[in-house]
């Protein structure tokens, strides 16, 4: 974990933005979720959520579709 890099900043290098509704299924997603959890444990004053971290990369419509597909 580099110098408290925010999970939303680590998202693109691990996931990318070309996956549309299917980013939950991408190989780097599990690694990113692990990073998010470790970040929240280490930097309790900067805690964030999965949705907060990805909403700057995807529209609400795309996130809604991804959540439905990820059930």
**What is the band of 32 on the pLDDT scale with cuts at 50, 70, 90?**
confident
Q: What is the pLDDT of residue 71?
A: 58
Q: 22 lies in a domain? A: yes
CB 39 within 8 Å of CB 6:
yes
Q: Is the pLDDT of residue 20 over 70?
A: no
- For the packed helices 7-14 and 27-42, what is the interaxial angle rounded to 10 degrees? 160
Q: 30 lies in a domain? A: yes
Q: 1 lies in a domain? A: no
Q: 45 lies in a domain? A: yes
Q: Write out pLDDT tens, residues 35-55.
A: 999 999 999 999 999 888 888
Q: Write out pLDDT tens, residues 55-66.
A: 887 788 888 887
The pTM for the full model equals 0.74
pLDDT > 90 fraction of the chain, expressed in percent and rounded: 23
Q: How far apart are CA 53 and CA 36, in angstroms?
A: 9
23: domain range?
A: 7-69
């Amino acid at each position: 974990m580099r110098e408290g890099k925010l999970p939303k900043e680590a998202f693109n290098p691990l996931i990318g933005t070309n996956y549309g509704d299917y980013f939950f299924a991408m190989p780097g997603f599990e690694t990113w979720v692990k990073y998010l959890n470790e970040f929240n444990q280490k930097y309790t004053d900067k805690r964030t959520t999965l949705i907060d971290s990805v909403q700057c990369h995807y529209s609400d419509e795309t996130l809604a579709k991804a959540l439905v597909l990820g059930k």
